[in-house]
């Protein structure tokens, strides 16, 4: 088992570290004990200095984002969705942390090196999924659709897609490829929750230190879109974006100063939900 301390896989450790920190708070927004296990294992193998540079300024954002997507999946569950696909799953533990009705299948797709680290930690923790969890080692810039179908994803059933923190890492229009694939595999009644970045972030001086830190761990952001609603809409998805200054979303984790900065600054990215 090797910790992905460089390359895009390292970014999964960044998010797990943020979730572990959230898990230790008395007012935590979610319970994620496995995040602690991932972090402990990663720390055994490396000092994770570069990972920390990225995590520190983003910690509250990752917590807010995680809670928002938890709630989004709970809504899909309440509406009867029993097929979930998490693309770029990283060290996501929703297959263990959320209560899934019997018969729910949760597919997790990510690069093989991420699962080479993740699976032994889960096994050592003795954690049991609350659903039928299916791991799909695949590259979202290549033939991931076929891999999901081979793994048993049923395109005749509505799917709840989760695409959290991954589209920006995909090269050469592979973000468009993911959207096209998700659209093809989505039966009526499917929904998508995810995140993408704006083209503007690449020239934004405020974002530059974080982009540099990501480049230093070999995980540069490569893709962005001009307008998320238009991007999703062109593929037939109705969408809404999240307002981080909404108390129901930020749970008091973003300071009033930062909220004003977010409201006044350029759009750097979007958390979205979409329906077909
Ligand atoms: C920032 S992490 C987010 C992980 C997870 N969604 C979460 O929020 O915990 C980005 C993830 O995208 C995955 N990823 C990046 N490029 C990928 C690709 N081409 N194919 C599959 N997964 C990829 C990385 O391996 C990493 O696990």
Tens of pLDDT, residues 45-93:
665 666 676 666 677 889 999 999 999 999 999 999 999 999 999 999 9
214 touches ligand 1 (CB under 6 Å)? no
88 touches ligand 1 (CB under 6 Å)? yes
| Residue 1 within any structural domain of the chain | no
What pLDDT was estimated at residue 1? Answer: 61
| Residue 27 within any structural domain of the chain | yes
85 touches ligand 1 (CB under 6 Å)? no
169 touches ligand 1 (CB under 6 Å)? yes
Host domain of residue 236: 8-275
- Ligand 1: residue whose CA is nearest its atom 10: 166
Is residue 259 scored above 80 in pLDDT? no
Please give the number of the atom of ligand 1 that sits closest to the Cα of 164. Answer: 6
| Residue 160 within any structural domain of the chain | yes
CB 63, CB 24: distance < 8 Å: no
- The count of C-alpha atoms lying within 13 angstroms of the C-alpha of 230, restricted to the half-sphere facing its C-beta, is 5
Is residue 19 scored above 70 in pLDDT? yes
DSSP helix/strand/coil, 227: coil
Q: What is the pLDDT of residues 130-162, one digit of tens each?
A: 999 999 999 999 999 999 999 999 999 999 999
160 touches ligand 1 (CB under 6 Å)? no
135 touches ligand 1 (CB under 6 Å)? no
Number of helices (H), then strands (E), in the chain: 11, 7
Q: What is the pLDDT of residues 88-129, one digit of tens each?
A: 999 999 999 999 999 999 999 999 999 999 999 999 999 999
CB-count burial class (<10 Å; 0-12, 13-18, 19+) for 189:
middle
| Residue 215 within any structural domain of the chain | yes
What pLDDT was estimated at residue 261? Answer: 72
Is residue 9 scored above 80 in pLDDT? no
| Residue 259 within any structural domain of the chain | yes
Which among 15, 110, 136, 146 is the best mutation to test ligand 1's pocket, defined by most ligand atoms within 8 Å of the CB? Answer: 110
| Residue 3 within any structural domain of the chain | no
34 touches ligand 1 (CB under 6 Å)? no
Which among 5, 87, 95, 169 is the best mutation to test ligand 1's pocket, defined by most ligand atoms within 8 Å of the CB? Answer: 169
| Average of per-residue pLDDT values in the chain | 91
Q: Which long-range contacts (CB under 8 A, 24 or more apart) does 73-80 make?
A: 73/98, 73/160, 73/162, 73/193, 74/98, 76/160, 76/191, 77/101, 77/104, 77/160
Is residue 178 scored above 80 in pLDDT? yes
Please give the number of the atom of ligand 1 that sits closest to the Cα of 86. Answer: 6
Q: What are phi and psi of 126, to 5 degrees?
A: 70, 25
What pLDDT was estimated at residue 6? Answer: 62
* Of the candidates 129, 148, 195, 193, the residue with the CA atom closest to the CA atom of residue 168: 195
164 touches ligand 1 (CB under 6 Å)? yes
Q: What are phi and psi of 5, to 5 degrees?
A: -95, -5
What pLDDT was estimated at residue 263? Answer: 72
Contacts of 198 (CB under 8 A, 6+ apart): 224, 225, 226, 228, 266, 267, 268, 269, 270
The DSSP line for 75-94 is HHHHTT--EEEEET-TT--H
What pLDDT was estimated at residue 244? Answer: 82
129 touches ligand 1 (CB under 6 Å)? no
217 touches ligand 1 (CB under 6 Å)? no
Q: Work out the percent of the chain whose per-residue pLDDT is above 70.
A: 93
**Residue 204 and residue 196: Cα distance in Å, rounded?**
16
What pLDDT was estimated at residue 60? Answer: 86
| Residue 52 within any structural domain of the chain | yes
What pLDDT was estimated at residue 57? Answer: 67
Residue 8 CA, ligand 1 centroid: distance in Å: 6
What pLDDT was estimated at residue 265? Answer: 72
What pLDDT was estimated at residue 48? Answer: 64
What is the CATH classification number for the domain harbouring 269?
3.40.50.150
Is residue 243 scored above 80 in pLDDT? yes
95 touches ligand 1 (CB under 6 Å)? no
Tokens linked to 122: 């889960």
Tokens linked to 19: 């979730």
Q: What is the pLDDT of residues 205-221, one digit of tens each?
A: 888 888 888 888 888 99
Determine the average pLDDT of the residues in 232-261.
Answer: 86
Determine the average pLDDT of the residues in 3-21.
Answer: 82
Q: Structural domain tally of the chain?
A: 1
Is residue 44 scored above 90 in pLDDT? no
12 touches ligand 1 (CB under 6 Å)? yes
């Amino acid at each position: 088992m090797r910790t992905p301390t460089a390359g895009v896989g390292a970014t999964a450790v960044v998010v797990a570290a943020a979730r572990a920190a959230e898990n230790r708070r008395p007012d935590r927004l979610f319970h994620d004990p496995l995040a602690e296990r991932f972090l402990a294992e990663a720390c055994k193998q490396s000092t994770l200095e570069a990972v920390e540079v990225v995590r520190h300024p983003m910690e509250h954002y990752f917590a807010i984002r995680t809670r928002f997507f938890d709630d989004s999946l709970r809504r899909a569950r309440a509406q009867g969705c029993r097929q979930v696909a998490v693309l770029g799953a990283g060290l996501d533990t929703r297959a263990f942390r959320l209560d899934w009705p019997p018969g729910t299948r949760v597919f997790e797709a990510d690069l093989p090196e991420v699962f080479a680290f993740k699976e032994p930690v889960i096994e050592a923790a003795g954690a049991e999924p609350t659903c039928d969890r299916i791991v799909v080692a695949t590259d979202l810039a290549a033939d991931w659709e076929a891999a999901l179908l081979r793994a048993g994803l049923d395109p005749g059933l509505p799917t709840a897609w989760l695409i959290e923190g991954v589209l920006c890492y995909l090269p050469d229009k592979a973000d468009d490829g993911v959207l096209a694939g998700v659209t093809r595999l989505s039966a009526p009644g499917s929904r998508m929750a995810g995140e993408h970045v704006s083209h503007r972030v690449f020239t934004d001086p405020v974002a530059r230190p974080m982009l540099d830190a990501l480049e230093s761990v070999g995980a540069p952001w490569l893709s962005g879109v001009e307008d998320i609603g238009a991007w999703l809409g062109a593929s037939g998805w109705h969408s809404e974006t999240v307002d981080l200054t909404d108390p129901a979303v930020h749970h008091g984790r973003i300071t009033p100063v930062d909220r004003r900065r977010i409201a006044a600054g350029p759009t750097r990215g979007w958390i979205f939900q979409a329906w077909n």
